[in-house]
Amino acid sequence: MGTLRLLVIALTLAAMTALLAPLQILAIRRGWPLARRLPFLWHRVAARLIGLRLHLSGAPAEGRPLLLVANHQSWADIVALGAVMPLSFIAKSEVAGWPVFGLLAKLQRTTFVAREARGRTGEQADAIGERLSAGDAMVLFAEGTTSDGNRVLPFKTALFGAAQASLKRSGTDAVLVQPVSIAYTKVNGIAMGRYDRPLAAWPGDVELAPHLLAFLREGAVDAEIRFGEPIRFDAASDRKAVARRCESVVSALLSRSLRGGEEAAP
């Protein structure tokens, strides 16, 4: 049954991608609003197909420009957040060259950044700021890498400069920066402990293919997404202070999810 399930998932996702990709490419080239909606549809179907059960607490901010700042554990974070609302991601430049995942990231209209290229930080922040000012909700995984899912790693502050860049480009008084936590809490209805969480978490030293297959074989994994209160980032804001505040909020939200906290709304 496990092999059959994997085959059904692979064939369905491949067929859906083949069907939607030409339209998405055209929508991107023409600047159609549909380019934001099609990836959202893809992730909604993918989440159900792979058994990713989402539980939300709080809600995404409605205002724009909007920068979502989240913790990062796994490739599954992309599907989980992508199934909640139309958005795009900020990813390390290496992802663009990955087989399959690189193509999907490009169709998602991902902005790729070279995190180690400190001399290009301003240029990269400007690129993200341009997307924010155009009305795109962007997701920044501020840890700069994946964690083990049990804690939040220190946030990198450089790309918070994108909020400053968006202020300059959009002419608005403020950008909304919203902390978001993602926690994987159950597998097949049974609560995960800290030693079980590597099923969902994908640290960089673990090979992707075996991790992906092990996740898909399980059948049902619960993910809890908590949205914190948006932080108003204006011309007087300090990006490092905002980054530290986001880190503190995301850490508290994650801890609440892992402790069981108040039950999230389905």
Domain residue ranges of the chain, discontinuous segments joined by +: 2-259
**Average pLDDT rounded to a whole number, residues 84-113:** 94
Residue 66 has pLDDT above 80, yes or no: yes
Residue 17 has pLDDT above 70, yes or no: yes
pLDDT of residue 164: 85
pLDDT of residue 119: 67
pLDDT of residue 114: 86
pLDDT of residue 65: 95
pLDDT tens digits, 169-199: 878 899 999 999 999 999 999 999 888 888 8
pLDDT of residue 1: 53
Residue 205 has pLDDT above 50, yes or no: yes
pLDDT of residue 2: 76
Chain mean pLDDT for the chain: 91
Burial of 194 (0-12, 13-18, 19+ CB in 10 A): exposed
pLDDT tens digits, 107-156: 999 999 987 666 677 888 888 999 999 999 999 999 999 999 999 999 99
pLDDT tens digits, 212-249: 888 998 889 999 999 999 999 999 999 999 999 999 99
